[in-house]
Chain A
Amino acid sequence: MTAELPPGLALQKVDERIMTLNVGPQHPGSGHMRIVVQIDGDYIVACDPDPGYVHRGEEKMAEYRNYITNIPHLERPVIHDSCNVLYPYVLGAEEILGIEVPERAKYVRVIASELNRCIYTQYWLAIYGIFLGHSTMFMWPAGDRELLIDLMEKMSGARVTHAHFVPGGVRNDLPANFEDACLRQVNYFEKRIKEYAAVFYDNPILISRTKDTGVLSKQDAIRLGTTGSVLRASGVDYDLRIKEPYDVYEELDVHTNVMKEGDSYARSKVPWLDMMESCNIIRQALQKMPKSGSVRTKLKPNPKTKGPETVYKRVESGRGSLGCYIVSDGKTEPYRVKMSVGSFRNLIALPYLLKGEKLGNMPSVYWSLNYWPVEADR
């Protein structure tokens, strides 16, 4: 029978004891994906993630548009983190097009990408809260996010899909008095997120629920190639902002937050600590930023490339390292654009971690992987 079917479509024989649950795609605890979970009683015996429900073919679309017109659609995978998603593509395009970025634009980029990281992490944290049945932790981050969204709106004109980074700098200069507003709102934001500890991170029920569940050891985190907060929660000190600094990150004092435990609790705490670090970076960048100057090297509408070339650029996004591999054949459109996204890389840990776990731990382990279904599908 298996000979007739295409590869991977073999019929499965399962035990009578085993119940197969389709968690998703229309399920409050799955996001835009499906997790086929096989449970024996309350224990998960097998788990098969099935992403692809929001696959939009961004990579294929990128082959038909030139380096500038690719920008608005390549940020769609994670609109909450749109600056960071665009960042490696823009860096790669700059290398291929051979243009320099003004100093002030680099600082504006750092500020925008750190603000976006916080916006994304707040959204992620809100969903983590509601996955654990903590509705206050859903509403608070979703509300405090607005502080930073207002800042991004001042900066780029759009609340969520900014399309602010372009090859050669950023689209607009900062508005007048942006520095003061940014400093004020970021300081208040940092004060707010510190309050989350009282209601969420120090909550005894949360700790007893997420401690020692879904433990990813350091060796396994490296072997599975996980990235971002998942990797740092397992004790690997790896942050591209330090290890391979891009733009002006090497001039800023960046720290990473590393936890040794590797369980769901650590994985959920590291992004929260990262948000405070982002606030520090924003303050430093505001201080060191040149007060005036150009923010964009203007390009022609359909810029020419230097010639056939391949570049692979990486940045640290809200979900970990985000690589963009651009193959150029000398034409005005890229020959191939590949986004190596953190969500897709962390997904491989899901079947590994869920096996043998209780069904009640599924949402907390799944969402602690810092997984964003739309980004993984691209």
Chain B
Amino acid sequence: MDFLTLIQVLDSTVRLATPLLLACLAGLYSERAGIFDIGLEGKMLMAAFFSAAIAATTGNVWLGLLAGIASSLVLAGLHGVASITFRGNQLISGVAINFLAAGLTVLIAQDWFKQGGRTPSLLTSGRFGPITFPFAEEVKDVPIFGPIYSELLSGHSILVYLAFLAVPATWWVLYRSRFGLRLRAVGENPAAVDTAGVSVIGLRYAAVAICGVLCGIAGAYLATALQAGFVKDMTAGRGFIALAALIFAKWRPWQAMGACLLFGLLQAVALRFQNIEIGPIVVPVQVMDALPYILTVVILAGFVGKAIPPKAGGEPYVKER
């Protein structure tokens, strides 16, 4: 593999890791506050559709992004009502949200655009274009540094940079702000937070809402930056890979970025090479597809350091005893 191929694979790693990273951070906020969310997939899918639909009809990608976030927030609200207000089973709620999104997106798309459950292809104005860093063209031919700067770092859409900036931001919010302290506390011991006079319900709704916004951006990125328009089931399990990455990272932001980049790399390699030959052994493409899930099971099994979820995760909080 020559240097340029390596750069291209890493470049596509960054692109493919971005939706995973956004969804992973979304899940991080929710699960750190004690709300399990296996509905990341559904929220992303809904946002992907509405962002593409609005971007296609208005020609404005920013309106599309807003619509995507709003639709994802609606589903997040539903998850909040079911799991916080009515103290329902958070896992079942997540399953329902995934199906709701899978069905509604195609249903609405078919009724709206009549193109077999997809949106029209987006033109340039309806998509997030690449951002070229200063001097990217000039330094292109400098060996080593040139391709890294102009191919790998420059030329992504604004949402990619946003996703990677969200990592230190999340770290700061979680470990350096009062809100973050309370958020983590509510996921570990909500009764203590309640005793301190802070609203458990308010905090959990805030976490679910942040999760909705981030899933919305992830979905919009899929439909308006990575691809040009919505197609049926376009999230293709990314919500679950993000969930896997979250466990892999043991619910921590920097590690989440590492896990998402690793899983993005696996996707990029699988996309480019199909079967990989390492000496006499041929690794079939299906192994690359399954590897994120296998790695997560290994981590969950506790063979490589134990993944301990937030203690109060999945438990509805009952105030009166």
Partners in one complex: no
Which B positions have Cβ atoms within 8 angstroms of A? none
